Structure 1
Amino acid sequence: MTERDTKEEVKRITVSLDDETAKMLEALANSDKRSVSEIVRFSVSEYYKLREVQKYVDPEFVGRIVDLLSESEHVMVDVSLWATILEELNRTANEKFWEYVGKIGREYGFQLKVKGLNDIFEVLKYMECLNWYHVKASSSNTYTLILTVRAEVKLLSVFLQNLFNALEKSVELIEGVRKIIVIDKTNGKEL
């Protein structure tokens, strides 16, 4: 058996890189203790996989999830467990609990303001990855939140009202059975 029989056949190519990309490639090779060829093969392979995934998952959505989870301020919960928790809270929670939910909403609003998120629709889209709801723009100032579970209505209404107060946005929230309609009344906007 020859050496060639035991190795995977490779093709030699020539690639032109700008200085910045060449520096990044060298830095990756040095930090990973791999050859430049290995880094390029790995990068192309991962990029190919990423393109396949992008057919099914929005990379921006994944980026928001990574952003939220990387701060260790969020948890992922099974939807059935979430519904059970909310149903119990809706039955038994006192006014102090709902005040606390409002306080958390205000804190969250301030965090979003620091991130530069101030537009109502952008905020709703950013938070959509929490899987509390799916958002649809009904008009230029009206958004419909289709909730994941019916028991979220009160929790999200209290949370979002306080979040938008922190962002200094005037909104009206109309509660439905499994949806919340958000109307942007900032600058005197109406339906």
Structure 2
Amino acid sequence: MNRRSKWLWIEPITGSRKRSNFFWACILFLGSLGFFLVGISSYFGENLIPLLSSQQILFVPQGIVMCFYGIAGLFISSYLWCTILFNVGSGYNKFDKKKGIVCLFRWGFPGINRRIFPRFLMKDIQMIKMEIQEGISPRRVLYMEIKGRQDIPLTRTGDNVNLREIEQKAAESARFLRVSIEGF
């Protein structure tokens, strides 16, 4: 839901709370829990999970390896659940013509840098860049080139946006900011 007027444009950015992240966090949690429980079952010599038989798995070395993979998977899934819980990467892009300022706000992990809030002057924006790479894993990202700084992404790098949408977004941004567009 973009909020746009003649002088102000606020564009919300989605964060980590996406269906795919929920799906992979659940799959990773259940799979790693299964690995861990089968490894522990091989240590005790009895099945802790009725569906997963561990009778033929020796604790040394197979059970230890399964426990290790299970623990590693649980750590990775807890990281994914934390990114979902804190909605890391969400925020907004705010373009204010009256004040002549561009504000990019993103949420990070809790701590000192929880709020990422860079601000730029509109007069320092040189152009909007589109990076388009086709192939097996296409990459379509919009960047804002600012004088004296590195390019700043305006869109998420992992989003699968079709070519028409990214071009339309680039045209809208360039028109509002009154800058040119460059594709690479």
Higher strand share: 2
TM-score normalised to structure 2 length: 0.28
TM-score normalised to structure 1 length: 0.27
Higher helix share: 1
